[in-house]
Each structure stands twice: as structure tokens, then as C-alpha cells.
Amino acid sequence: MEATPADKELQTLPSYHCNFEGCSVRYDAGNGYYTVVNTPDQPYVIEEPGVNLLQCPRHGTWLYRAENRRGDSHIVWRCGIEECDFARADTLRI
């Protein structure tokens, strides 16, 4: 089967990504945290294990890790939907 022009088009997904060299972890509200692995034919997306645990009760989207509070013992998770103020604070368990 021959590839069509649409098959060869670059597909993009708006997302946030870490800015460390070599890091391929991304986040968007619909998919949560995931890693992009470049394969010869197309990028392959793998969910980050153990990270996508909390969803916004208003939108059903994945929360992102927004900040640490009180040293490193508390983190705040927020909704990625514009103008949503939902947040949840948790204690880190290391």
C-alpha cells in the first residue's frame, strides 16, 4: 500500500515539555504526562508510569505538577484548562 500525502504530513500536538537536553517528556491536559520516542516512521507516544494519577473533577483532564511548597514535602497539582483554578496539594512519599 502506497503512502498518501496526508500520511506524510507532520502531525503536531500542542504540549508543554521539559527544557533539559535530551528530555522527551511532555504534558497536555488530555493525555497527561507522556514520553515521545522517535521511530523511523513516526513518533511513538508512551504514557509516563505513575504520574498520571489525578484528574480535574470539573473537566476530567489530567493535572500537572505546578510547584513545591514547604520545602520538598508538599506539591501542588493544577488543572491545565485555561481559567480553571482547581488545585490539589499532596505530600510527597519518597
Return the half-sphere exposure (C-beta side, CA atoms, 13 A cut-off) of residue 70: 8
Band (pLDDT 50/70/90 cuts) for residue 27 is confident
Task: Tell me the per-residue pLDDT of 28-79, one tens digit each, with 9 for 90 and over.
Answer: 888 888 888 877 777 778 888 888 888 999 999 999 888 766 566 678 889 9
- pLDDT confidence of residue 30: 87
Give me the domain span that covers residue 44: 5-91
Report the alpha-carbon distance of residue 79 to residue 17 in Å, rounded: 16
Whether pLDDT at 93 is above 60 = no
- pLDDT confidence of residue 61: 93
Report the alpha-carbon distance of residue 36 to residue 44 in Å, rounded: 6
The number of folded domains in the chain is: 1
